[in-house]
Amino acid sequence: MLKAVIRFSLNYSSLVLIAAVLVVAYAGYRLPHMSVDVFPELNAPTVTIMTESGGLSADEVEQYVTFPIETSVNGMTGVRRVRSASAIGLSIVWVDLDWGADLYDARQLVSERLNAARGSLPEDTEPFITPITSIAGEIMLVSLSSPSREVSSMDLRAYAEFDLRNKILAVPGVAQVVAIGGELPEYQVNVDQERLRLFDLTISDVVQAAGGSHSTASGGYLVDVDHFEIPIRQQSRVTRPQDIANTIIKYHDGVPVTIGQVAEVRLGPALRRGTASEGGQSAVILSIQKSPGTNTLALTDQLDILFDQIEPTLPGGAELNRDVVRQSHFIDRSIDNVTKVLLEAVVIVLVVLVLFLMNVRTTLITLTAIPISLAVGLLIMDGMNLGLNVMTLGGLTVAIGVLVDDAIIDVENVFRRLKQNRGRPESDRRDAVEVIFDASNEIRPAMVFATLIIVMVFVPLLALQGLEGRFFQPLALTYMVSIGASLLVALTVVPALCRFLLKGRLGGGGQHEDRDGFLVRLLKRSYEPSLRYAIRLRVWVIGGAGLATVGALLLASTYGTSFLPSFNEGTFTVFLLAPPGTSIIESDRLATEVEKQLVEIDGVRSVSRRTGRAERDEHAEPVSNSEIEVTVEDGRDRHEVREGIDRVLGAIPGITTMVGQPIEHRLSHVLSGTPAAITINVYGEELSELRRVAKKVEGELQALPGARDVNANREVMITSLPIRYRHAELAAVGLSPADAAEQVREAIYGERVDVVNEGIRQYDLVVRLAPDQRESIRQVRDLLLRGRGGATVRLRDVADIGPERSSNLITRENAQRKAVISLNVAEDSNLGDLVEQVRERVDPIVAEAGMTVSYGGQFEAQQSASRTILVAGLVVAVVMLLLLQISTGSMRAAVLVMLNMPLALIGGIVAIYLTEGGGAVSNTLALLGVGGDYIPPVISIASMVGFITLFGIAVRNGILLINHYNHLMQEEGVAPDEAVVQGSMERLVPILMTAISAALGLVPLALAAGEPGSELLAPLAIVTLGGLLTSTFLNLIVVPAGYALVFRCQAEPRRAPGPGASIH
């Protein structure tokens, strides 16, 4: 069939070339319409259920809210785990699904189960499923502030909450907007207890009356008044505080008592659970989150257009900063860097082709493979909705040097056969089209098998699950598609171009017309004696290669492991964890002081802070926690800024700190539920015992070298105020426990009796005691309760009230309580080694306590990815061996080709040693026992992908060699011993060209290590580059020597060429 494809391309070459031009043109048309993002869609299939349960303590939330919801969703099909967090007044349940599960079906199932659970939840608690957002979905932080203080914090928050937020949500692609900071306005009825006693009222009477102050009831309509239908509009809605104040509660001694007589009514600030600031000044911060699959850059442009329209209409004195943090900066830098690397790789490949071919026409033919292959790859990516991101562009970049391989092999063989044909007498010359057809078919089997194997080695990446699969599957698909496209180009466009361009003279003319270029002649003169020498000493050569491989593997056994390299996002996320129980006011003060110091660091562009939790936020953050985003100026050294941040944090006593990056910490949250790299989950039921074990583990790990940011989770004791009712005393005054509890809740926490609409703004109408009557424990003790018979009693007379310690947050996983200890990997340490040391210290502590432990986070993902790559890689290796046997016709030859894989390992391992760890010189001295400490180089999942890339290219070169040996012996009758030498000489140029093109095409990517967008690709490029350099050299020496040894060939001494002879 492939013969027919080549024949068709030669017979209809004009049609083929026109089709190729149209494909490139259409790809150019589609390119601006493709979605652009920093990473592939990383969304974990998770359904998040939030339930606000104001006034309940953490253990009450767990018992009455979290547990019923957990029970309802446990056991659902496709659920990987169910996690929950119960905090003061808040329950969050995360239903994590298997990767690849249909999220919309899962949300429907969860919704159905929630309906069944609602009946067992407390009154006034309404669980809801949060909107679907991406992991990297927080695309922008914007701030609204009033530097001149002309706009009050309440007016700022009202504008942000009701005006600005609604306009942003109207932009297609925006999933959620969360506002934090300022003061959220509400209608407040602040009741005075003494006035209540004066009129013989209770706070419940005020609650009931306040509910009657506002109504949206319709009045119906008059059917026919003078032939018109007239609707009746009742003006019974609240429009100002006086409307509430003038509402009657009851008649007292024949006189109406209104709400205003027993309470102060105002539009005031609601109770806060979070604050925000920018640059140390109070502000409202809005977090804008996108829907999965939305083009971040396009959405950012739409938001900028919206902000351009909004800014002129802002309240006087208010300022909108749209550039607090925006993900588009990271995307632009990343895409620009990868695109630059892509263009540099194309230039390098062009230079390599020119140097080797020394022929403009052959170089032009070969280079056409790049744009056409890229065009086909982009169109297929577009059809698969992969979009443009760092990983897909990285796949194209890694493939650049390989895209021309098939074209190089084809063009080089056609060019050589055409020169041979022109060297014959004119009467013996064949038609050029037939020569092109035969030459293309001659290398077709090896070329197709080699390309098939290169594509096959990426199959293990398609088997990756979880987050690592989301990262590397698009890279693998892009690489496989573009390589497949390059084979199609080599079978169609290249023969067609050869027919058009390789006419007439093929060289410089005259007697030297068929001679190779100077570089090729130089390489062949150097290679032939080395080749013959290697064949004669083949046993020593094979033995030396084996020893080198063993040595490389021994060196690799000293390496550490990691999941993914660190990103360069341009923004640091600083976590401040004040002692649990710290009030919102004190937390705000502490975080503001830290923020002001961070602003002063040289190289910092902006600093924004969020303390506590916003109303719709999916993180169960207590008010003692703060999250600060520190954005680095463009062009500044982020390591110096990080050192400055560490200095500021190191000078703050009593606060636990952690430093990460926005996307990185969200990835960690998906893996483990914490922003740290390693998570230790200790399972048990007794909270006191869990806390004791967590504290002991924390203390043990803080002394561990290589660990930083060690933090036992926030299930620690805080001061609470339990009220234990004495039932007999309650009954004596005519109160039931429910009556007393309801009156206490209304007095202290308040009762939301209605929602008042004023245009697009919605204000809660809340009744509670006046602020100055609910400030201290004494005032709680003195709270007045009224029995059913009218008796009045103070709370202390019917209940035992006293401070005690209780949990501030309770976490669970799969129906078990757990304590979480998290930590990060310090500089000069690595994930794999650190986890082993952690296990040695933690396992005995947990076992002694009779509990169970599991380790999660990046370590778990790294282990899973490594196992998948190993198992799938072994399966692919077996299939490759069978394909090689089919291609070469011999199992011995197939095994010989597979030898390229360990040969490729050598360079990849050495490349990691030279570029990672504590430096090659100091590490070598350490290994020899004459230097300092050995800092292990690190192999990440990205490095493992580099080895996969490397194996495919290395095996391809072996196929080219051995298939050509077979062709010379079977088709041209060359003796086996000479076939090895001649075949190696004739395949020297295509092997070097393909390998050097692939290797040097990766140089820009390797040099871009640490730049935005290159974090995952640079380790891959370094491994592939190092491996290609050694495997190509060893392939040209070891494979011929191995073939001669296995098939018992002898190398004759080189005979001097006759006059005018050329070496091919």
What CATH number has the domain bearing residue 985? Answer: 1.20.1640.10
510 band by pLDDT with thresholds 50, 70 and 90: very low
pLDDT classification of 509: cutoffs 50, 70, 90: very low
Res. 1063: pLDDT tops 50: no
Give Cα 208 to chain centroid, integer Å.
51
Closest of 368, 392, 592 to residue 473, by C-alpha: 392
916 and 1045 in a single domain? The answer is yes
Read off the pLDDT of each residue in 392-402 and give the average, rounded to a whole number: 76
Q: Are residues 394 and 433 in the same domain?
A: yes
Which pLDDT score, from 0 to 100, does residue 167 have? 93
Domain final position from 63, 97, 132: 132
Tell me: do 496 and 418 sit in the same domain: yes
Q: How many domains does the chain have?
A: 5
- Compute the C-alpha angle 425/427/429, nearest 5°: 70
Question: Mean pLDDT throughout 161-166?
Answer: 92
Residue 10: pLDDT band with limits 50, 70, 90: confident
Q: What is the DSSP letter of 182?
A: S
Tokens at 490, concatenated = 């080599």
Contact 809, 715 (CB under 8 A): yes
Of the candidates 936, 803, 416, 857, which has an alpha carbon nearest to the alpha carbon of residue 676? 857
Alpha helical stretches, state H, 326-389: 327-357, 360-367, 369-383
Q: In what side-by-side order are the strands of the sheet with 284-290?
A: 174-180, 284-290, 138-145, 319-326
375 and 415 together in one domain: yes
Q: Is the pLDDT of residue 953 over 80?
A: no
Token look-up 């599991």 returns 854
Sequential DSSP letters for 686-700: -HHHHHHHHHHHHHH
Same domain, residue pair 178 and 224? no
Does a structural domain hold residue 1061? no
Ordered alpha helix ranges (H), 683-809: 687-702, 727-732, 737-748, 777-781
Of residues 727, 768, 766, the one with CA closest to residue 745: 768
1037, 1041, 1047, 1051 alpha-carbon torsion, rounded to 10°:
100
Residue 648: which residues within 8 A CB-CB, separation 6 or more? 594, 597, 598, 601
Instruction: From 568, 566, 411, 560, select the one nearest 498 (Cα to Cα).
Output: 411
Residues 23 and 64 in one domain: no
State the Cα angle at 612 between 610 and 613, rounded to 5°.
90
552 and 441 in a single domain? The answer is no
Task: Tell me how far apart the alpha carbons of residues 712 and 451 are, in angstroms, rounded to a whole number.
Answer: 51
In a domain, 918, yes or no: yes
**Rounded CA gap, 585 and 270, in Å?**
14
Residue 652 phi/psi, 5-degree rounding, is: -105, 115
Residues 590, 509 within the same domain: no
Average pLDDT for the chain:
83
The verdict on 298 and 444 lying in the same domain is: no
Assess if residue 710 is contained within a domain.
Answer: no
Task: For 292-340, write each residue's pLDDT tens digit.
Answer: 778 888 899 999 999 999 999 998 889 999 888 888 888 887 777 777 7
- CATH number of 53's domain: 3.30.70.1430
Identify the pLDDT of residue 335: 76
* Position 521, amino acid: R
Q: CB–CB of 103/830 below 8 Å?
A: no
DSSP letters spanning 231-256: E-----S--SHHHHHT-EEEEETTEE
Res 1058: pLDDT:
40
- Quick one: DSSP state of residue 424? S
Q: Looking at the domain assignment, is residue 834 inside a domain?
A: no
pLDDT at 1005 over 60: yes
The mean-pLDDT minimum among 218-227, 904-913, 1054-1063 falls in 1054-1063
Distance (Å, rounded) from C-alpha 162 to C-alpha 102?
33
Closest by CA to 820, choosing from 713, 961, 733, is: 713
**Weakest-pLDDT range from 193-197, 814-818, 990-994:** 990-994
CATH of the domain at 590: 3.30.70.1320
Q: Please, where are the H alpha helices in 384-492?
A: 390-403, 405-422, 432-456, 459-462, 466-491
- Give residue-wise pLDDT tens across range 661-689: 887 777 777 776 676 778 888 998 888 88
650 & 624 share domain: yes
State mean pLDDT over 115-139: 81
Q: Residue 267: what pLDDT? A: 92
- Token couple for 538: 């083949």
pTM of the full predicted structure? 0.75
* Domain assignment of residue 620, yes or no: yes
732, part of any domain:
yes
Nearest by Cα to 825 from 816, 815, 837, 813: 837
Is residue 983's pLDDT more than 80?
A: yes
User: Which of 676, 687, 673, 672 lies closest to 818, judged by CA?
Assistant: 687
Q: Can you give the pLDDT at residue 616?
A: 60
Is residue 152 in some structural domain? yes
Contacts 24+ apart (CB under 8 A), 268-271: 268/154, 268/185, 268/186, 268/188, 268/190, 269/153, 269/154, 269/183, 269/184, 269/185, 269/186, 270/183, 270/184, 270/185, 270/186, 270/764, 270/766, 271/750
- Rg for the chain, CA atoms, rounded: 37
Q: Could you tell me the CATH number of the domain that includes residue 218?
A: 3.30.2090.10
How confident is the model at residue 512, as a pLDDT? 41
The lowest-confidence range among 173-187, 251-265, 811-825, 875-889 is 875-889
Residue 852 forms part of a structural domain: no
pLDDT mean over 136-145: 85
Query: How confident is residue 506, by pLDDT bands cut at 50, 70 and 90?
Result: low
What does the block give as tokens for 999? 């290797």
- Expressed as residue numbers, the domain containing 50 is 44-132
Structure tokens that stand for 425 in this block = 């007498």
Kindly state the percentage of the chain with pLDDT values over 90.
Answer: 17
The per-residue pLDDT for range 817-873, each reduced to its tens digit, is 888 888 888 877 788 888 888 999 999 999 998 899 988 877 777 788 888 888 888
Measured CA to CA, the distance from residue 457 to residue 480 in angstroms comes to: 9
- C-alpha pair distances (Å), 1041 with each of 230, 771, 961, 984, 1036: 102, 90, 12, 11, 9
Q: Are residues 282 and 223 in the same domain?
A: no
* pLDDT at 136 > cutoff 70: no
pLDDT at 617: 64
CB 490 within 8 A of CB 406: yes
Strand ordering across the sheet containing 751-758:
263-269, 185-191, 761-769, 751-758
Give the C-alpha distances (Å, rounded to integers) separating 381 from 221, 462, 671, 1041.
Answer: 60, 15, 28, 42
Position 1045 scores a pLDDT of 84
pLDDT category of residue 619 using cuts at 50, 70 and 90:
low
Please check whether residues 612 and 635 belong to one and the same domain.
yes
